[in-house]
Structure 1
Amino acid sequence: MFTGLVEKIGTVSSLEPLDTSVSGGGGTSLTIADCDEILTDAHLGDSISVNGTCLTVTAFEKSWFKVGVAPETLRRTNLGALTETSKVNLERAVKGDTRMGGHIVQGHVDTIAKILAVTPDENSLVLRMQPRDIEALRYIVEKGFITLDGASLTVTQVKDGEDGWFEVMLIAYTQEKIVTAAKKVGDFVNVEIDVVAKYVEKGVQAYFAGTAGGNMGILEKMVGKIVEEKLKQ
């Protein structure tokens, strides 16, 4: 588990194919350097979030560590687009006494999102993004949590629908601490939805399935009424 508070920006120093005798074929071994600060208490097998993706440390020295990235992870995240010298957000897994300054982050990327616009707002940046899996928007709400490339951020605006999108604002301090601030229109970010939203959805579905004889139409009408009232405001 992670908090979404990026500890260090690391640099990809090498990418190599995974040993097929171990991995079964495919995948990439990443070596990430310039990260002395987060390796002082490292152990083999530790979890480190790399751009919001929970990966296992397979080797390390004072200033670098190595992780294996499976083919499925390369398909579902933006890690497949990394090259030598790419910058990545890094965070160690939390300890029991860690202060939760961000929110609960699993390191399980739900989808990637394409940056549609980057708009300055005084010394802040507004990023507008569209998820590759557009249905993910149902879990994204204004003022809710979202994890982008491993960074815990607050959603400032959401537009639902097939051409929907969501926005976040990066203050000046955050721009200096995460790689996402340097990305351009057309680039992709890893997205992890707040897991609480998924639990709420499942719980509500189970409740109505039990109390309404499985008639989910009641829930749909309720949601439709809430949306209708919202649009009138």
Structure 2
Amino acid sequence: MIEIWPAIDIIDSENVRLTEGDYDTKTAMGRSPLEAVKFYCRQPQVTRIHLVDLIGAKKQRPAEMDLFRQMIDAADRPVEIGGGIRSEETIRRYLDMEASYLIIGTKGLSEPDWLIGMSRKYPGRLMLGLDARGDRVALNGWLETAETTVTEMLDRLDGAELAGVIYTDIARDGRMEGPNVAMTGKLAGVSKWPVTASGGVRNGADLKALESEGVAAAIVGKAANSEAFWESL
């Protein structure tokens, strides 16, 4: 069965969702961050909680470390954290807080040799955050698009000891229109590491479609905030 990782995105200590990564589309999710952790930990299908520091991603440094410590303490499942992780010091601080996994995006995409080195120092604890517009890699909180393709990026990380790859199709994120099954499946077919889908997952049918393509896990954002999503599985 494909794993389900509900997402809790944070801006100014508030649980929010964006559409296509646009900070101007910020929508509050109703539950506080701690209430969201407890809600997701009541769902038996959840195997991991996915936390994102959106201001950290934008400002290139952590902005919600104290809140994330509380959320880790409140969770009875593994927790992964992304957003603004640009240094080994930040990696060590989050791991010392007992985060199970950390997501490295822009720093690893811009400096693959650095990520390879960090992944060897912390084997099986770092995830590559492979965010893209189409097949082009996006950087700095999705505010920039590089010329590098997602498959080229995987090639550059040959030798890394990653826990996995999270592929986000920005055009699908927050739109509730379904994930990019084809591209995620393509990456799952060529990646040396387990691939997780992010962006657009709506229901059990989307999860089954991803699973049929060899995708290991799915991050679910807006849909996971609804009781109906979990009841339908």
Query: Considering only CA atoms, is the larger Rg found in Structure 1 or Structure 2?
Result: 1
More helix as a share of residues? 2
Bigger fraction of residues in strand: 1
The answer to whether TM tops 0.5 is no
TM-score (structure 2 length as normaliser): 0.29
